[in-house]
Amino acid sequence: MNFEDKVQKNRLLFGVSLRDFLNSEADKRQIPPKLYKTMTYSLQAGSKRIRPILCMAGAELSGINEISEKVLPMAIALEFFYTSTLIHYDMPCMGNNKLRIGKPSSHVAHGENLALLSGSAIPLWGIKHAVEGLIVNQIPLENILNALIIYLESAGPAGAIGGQSLYVDSDETKDMEDIIVTTSMKTGDLVKASVKTGAVLAGISGEELKSIDSYGYYLGTCFQIIDDILHEAAAMEDITTGKEQKQKKEQGQESKQEKSNFVSLLGMDEARSLAENCAGKAIHSLNMSYPGEEGEFLRDFAKYLLNKVI
């Protein structure tokens, strides 16, 4: 199966699992209706499902048949947390974005109070589902505990939430060291955790897990650099067509100061070079333990990211 087909297969597999979970009658009865509607609004908004795909791919490095389906509850928990960060970041006190993937942001569609509560409730809902589902799928309890620790560390104050606090801090001028630290926490930690939790749930440990950890670190950095490049390229195109100011006004961002990022500090060419370097290091790290067919998908994933801008 080629890379594109594998991505589509796992994305569809995740989509079915997410749909079944969100349609749980037990949860519908227990959760207040307005909160349930607000939560599912954001969870069904659509995304590329990068983190669930990486979680499933990390598990598949073990070579265990059907392991990707068994770790789906953790894949859902990862996507739930990622969604919660978007809900909170879109709010007026942070990013003040009125649109998310072409639709009204959660606080615009449902009000700030429900958006705030929804963003807080979603990751807890995901963790509960992950524990219950992984036990049902007969994942060893030690593996579940270790994966949850990785998840919580990557999501918490020393991970994604801490990184967001650095990102929204406009009191300081950011240099390259600041950007790397912020990126590794805000974006990279959850990308890395996605691959690692899948691997840990499948029983991977020792040197193999260290290789996966290093792969995830460089992939997460590459991911953010490429996101910065694509954002800058889109902004440059908008300037030529006169769309940039209109879009900012629509999103309530006309008074927002642009954040420092890899492109603003390095320039487009050097940022591309750094992304290429990070992708190469990610692949090299993976090859230390998985040089053969079992690592092909994750190697191709790094190349897929890079091909967006090179």
CATH number belonging to domain 3-306: 1.10.600.10
Partners of residue 191 on adjacent β-strands: none
Nearest to 169 by CA among 185, 155, 154: 185
What pLDDT does 47 receive?
79
Please, what is the end-to-end C-alpha distance for the chain in angstroms? 25
More confident residue, 22 or 46: 22
More confident residue, 172 or 297: 297
For residues 300-306, give the mean pLDDT. 95
Question: Is the predicted pLDDT of residue 240 greater than 70, yes or no?
Answer: no
CA distance 194 to 211: 14
What pLDDT does 252 receive?
45
Q: Where are the domains of the chain?
A: 3-306
What pLDDT does 243 receive?
53
What pLDDT does 172 receive?
59
CA distance 297 to 276: 18
The pLDDT tens digits of the residues spanning 243-284 come to: 554 454 444 443 345 678 999 899 999 999 999 999 999 999
CA distance 66 to 247: 44
The pLDDT tens digits of the residues spanning 61-115 come to: 999 999 999 999 999 999 999 999 999 999 999 999 999 989 999 999 999 999 9
Question: Is the predicted pLDDT of residue 242 greater than 80, yes or no?
Answer: no
Tally of CB atoms within 10 A around 185? 24
Question: Is the predicted pLDDT of residue 308 greater than 90, yes or no?
Answer: no
The 3-class secondary structure across 125-151, one letter per residue, is HHHHHHHHHHHHCCCCHHHHHHHHHHH
The pLDDT tens digits of the residues spanning 179-206 come to: 999 989 999 999 999 999 999 999 999 9
Q: What angle do CA 7, 9, 12 make, to 5 degrees?
A: 105
For residues 140-160, give the mean pLDDT. 97
Question: Is the predicted pLDDT of residue 238 greater than 80, yes or no?
Answer: no
Partners of residue 103 on adjacent β-strands: 100
For residues 214-234, give the mean pLDDT. 93
- Mean confidence (pLDDT) of the chain: 90
What pLDDT does 146 receive?
98
For residues 31-51, give the mean pLDDT. 92
The pLDDT tens digits of the residues spanning 130-144 come to: 999 999 999 999 999
What pLDDT does 260 receive?
84
